[in-house]
């Protein structure tokens, strides 16, 4: 409607089209702001109502970005349900919008009127009448929309609104009852004196979860520690006993087998707890290994016997049920990552090596390994007249126009010197002036000639490495 009015008023001229686009852009921004406003305001409003215990407490929790994430998610789900249910038709959504907005106005008007009536502070009669009038007018609008738009979806609001109000009050009543139940007893009542602590580990199989529970039970320092298995299947009980005796981490804890003829585990556990706590100064702790799986598949593929047993025995005096969780899903993920890493490493090891350089054939490896496994830059042609390498080749940085890295032959404890040169150095293909520079610098030492150097080169400025296997011609200028 706004676009039609704007098109009729502005005309068909070029400036009319420009202003029409401005109107459309402004309308879009207004609608965007209006759609974004509930996502800013509803989570805060829901958190305030949840603090008063009229909504679930999860709506009071903030997410990682300090926003009420649960409120945003709830609003998103409800919005999508409305869009899908009404097929995104504005005529059907208007009824929901009008009834919701004017219902809020009605509650706000009557609520402020009651506030001014119960908190008299100066002349409040005018404020009471004003808010009562606004609430009454808004209530009339709600009734009109409910009657006119009843067949277009308003009936759903008229049904859900009373149910929602009833649900809010019922939730508040439940929260108040729970708080009353958990309230601390009279402060003059002292705690019971416990002189003996017994620990019983309920086991169903000899696996990693059971070992973790037994290890935790051993660290409690109780007066007695034992494991109990309720027999529902004789063959499985025999297998468990055999596996228990062969497991070193479990063998030191005695395993008792108790028949459960009616197959009701909760009743059998309560009877065992009653037998163990006949002495009023005895405290009994049941450890229940609970294996946690994937959230969705875990609920379908596995039962929750540990939770049921813990809920049943926690009602008995001086009996504590402790659930020891074991993350099976996390262990599976870690093993899957390790297997993937091993497979990747094996694939890389089995990958064929690139062919050796044609000029690299017949040369001696630099470190005694296979010649085709060394990088090609480490292979150098042997110059006639130079001695064979005695230790290893190291790289010396020489100040040349192209900053070329040249290999130099180093030998711990002394240098091998060819008969045709005075200074020990083994060079690759390098210019003659660079080779001469390296030969002159190879014998420089701190303060004189190095012991074992027959060449007598005394070019100052070089500090050779003193450790074995390092060339004294490294890092030359």
Long-range pairs, 438-445, Cβ under 8 A, ≥24: 438/396, 438/398, 438/406, 438/408, 438/473, 438/476, 441/473, 441/476, 442/408, 442/415, 442/471, 442/472, 442/473, 443/415, 443/472, 444/472, 445/472
Alpha carbon of residue 89 to chain centroid: 40
Which residues does residue 394 pair with via DSSP β-bridges, in sequence order?
408
Residues 6+ away with beta carbon under 8 Å from 182:
none
Q: With b meaning 16 or more CB within 10 Å and e meaning fewer, what string describes 187-216?
A: eeeeeeeeeebbbbbbbbebeebbbbbbee
Residue 205 has what pLDDT? Answer: 87
- The size of the chain, in residues, is 477
**pTM of the prediction?**
0.52
Containing H/E element for 102?
A: helix 90-118
Residue 169 has what pLDDT? Answer: 92
What residue spans of 182-304 are helical by DSSP H?
208-218, 234-246, 248-251, 265-276, 295-301
pLDDT by residue for the chain (477 residues), tens only, comes to: 788 888 888 878 888 888 888 988 998 888 888 888 888 888 998 999 999 989 998 898 888 788 888 999 999 998 898 888 888 887 778 778 888 888 889 999 999 999 888 887 767 788 889 999 999 999 998 888 888 888 777 777 778 888 988 999 999 999 998 888 777 665 655 556 777 889 999 998 888 999 999 999 998 888 889 999 998 888 888 999 999 988 888 888 999 999 888 888 888 888 888 888 888 888 899 999 988 887 777 667 777 788 888 888 888 888 988 888 888 888 888 888 999 999 988 888 888 776 655 555 544 444 444 444 444 444 444 444 444 444 443 434 444 444 444 444 444 444 444 443 444 444 444 445 445 555 555 555 444 444 444 444 444 444 444 444 444 444 433
Q: Which two tokens stand for residue 461?
A: 């400025």
**Percentages of the chain per state (helix, strand, coil), in multiples of 5:** 50, 10, 35
Residue 382 has what pLDDT? Answer: 45
Residue 225 has what pLDDT? Answer: 92
Residue 61 has what pLDDT? Answer: 87
> DSSP characters for 359-379?
GGTTPPPSSSS-GGGS-GGG-
Which 3 state secondary structure label does DSSP give 325?
Answer: strand
- Cα–Cα distances in Å, from 424 out to 1, 405, 442, 454, 472? 96, 18, 6, 9, 10
Alpha carbon of residue 32 to chain centroid: 33
List domains and CATH numbers for the chain: 38-180 (no CATH), 196-331 (3.40.50.620), 386-477 (no CATH)
From the list 358, 351, 286, the residue with the least C-alpha distance to 318 is 286
């Amino acid at each position: 409607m706004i676009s039609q009015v704007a098109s009729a008023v502005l005309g068909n001229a070029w400036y009319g089209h420009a202003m029409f686009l401005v109107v459309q852009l402004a309308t879009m921004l207004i609608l965007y702001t209006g759609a974004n406003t509930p996502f800013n305001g509803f989570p805060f409003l829901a958190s305030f109502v949840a603090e008063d215990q009229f909504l679930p407490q999860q709506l009071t929790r903030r997410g990682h970005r300090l926003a009420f994430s649960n409120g945003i998610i709830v609003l998103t789900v409800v919005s999508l349900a409305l869009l899908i249910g009404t097929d995104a038709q504005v005529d059907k959504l208007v009824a929901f919008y009008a009834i919701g907005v004017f219902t809020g106005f009605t509650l706000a008007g009557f609520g402020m009127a009651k506030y001014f009536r119960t908190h008299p502070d100066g002349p409040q009669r005018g404020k009471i009448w004003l808010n009562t009038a606004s609430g009454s007018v808004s209530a009339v609008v709600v009734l009109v929309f409910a009657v006119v738009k009843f067949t277009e979806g308003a009936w759903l609001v008229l049904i859900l609104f009373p149910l929602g109000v009833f649900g809010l009050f019922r939730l508040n009543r439940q929260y108040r009852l729970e708080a009353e139940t958990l309230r601390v007893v009279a402060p003059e009542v002292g705690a019971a004196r416990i002189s003996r602590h017994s620990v019983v580990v309920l086991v169903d199989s000899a696996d990693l979860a059971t070992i973790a529970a037994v290890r935790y039970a051993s660290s409690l320092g109780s007066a007695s520690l034992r494991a109990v298995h309720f027999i529902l299947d004789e063959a499985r009980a025999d297998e468990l006993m055999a596996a228990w005796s062969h497991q070193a981490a479990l063998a030191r804890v005695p395993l008792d087998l108790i028949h459960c003829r009616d197959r009701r585990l909760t009743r059998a556990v309560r009877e065992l707890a009653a037998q163990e706590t006949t002495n009023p100064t005895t405290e009994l702790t049941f450890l229940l290994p609970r294996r946690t799986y994937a959230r969705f598949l875990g609920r379908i593929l596995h039962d929750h016997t540990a939770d049921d047993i813990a809920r049943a025995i926690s009602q008995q005096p001086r009996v504590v049920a402790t659930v020891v969780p074991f993350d099976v899903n996390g262990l599976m993920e870690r093993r899957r990552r390790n297997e993937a890493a091993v497979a990747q490493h094996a694939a890389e090891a089995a990958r064929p090596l690139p062919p050796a350089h044609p000029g690299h054939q017949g040369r001696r490896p630099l470190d005694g390994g296979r010649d085709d496994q060394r990088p090609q830059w480490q292979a150098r042609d042997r110059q006639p007249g130079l001695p064979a390498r005695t230790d290893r080749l190291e790289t010396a940085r020489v100040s040349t126009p192209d900053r070329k890295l040249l290999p130099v032959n180093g030998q711990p404890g002394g240098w091998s010197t060819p008969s045709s040169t005075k200074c020990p150095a083994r060079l690759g293909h390098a210019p003659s002036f660079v080779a001469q520079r390296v030969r002159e610098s190879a014998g420089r030492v701190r303060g004189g000639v190095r012991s074992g150097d027959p060449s007598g080169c005394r070019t100052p400025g070089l500090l050779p490495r003193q450790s074995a296997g390092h060339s004294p011609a490294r890092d030359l200028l």
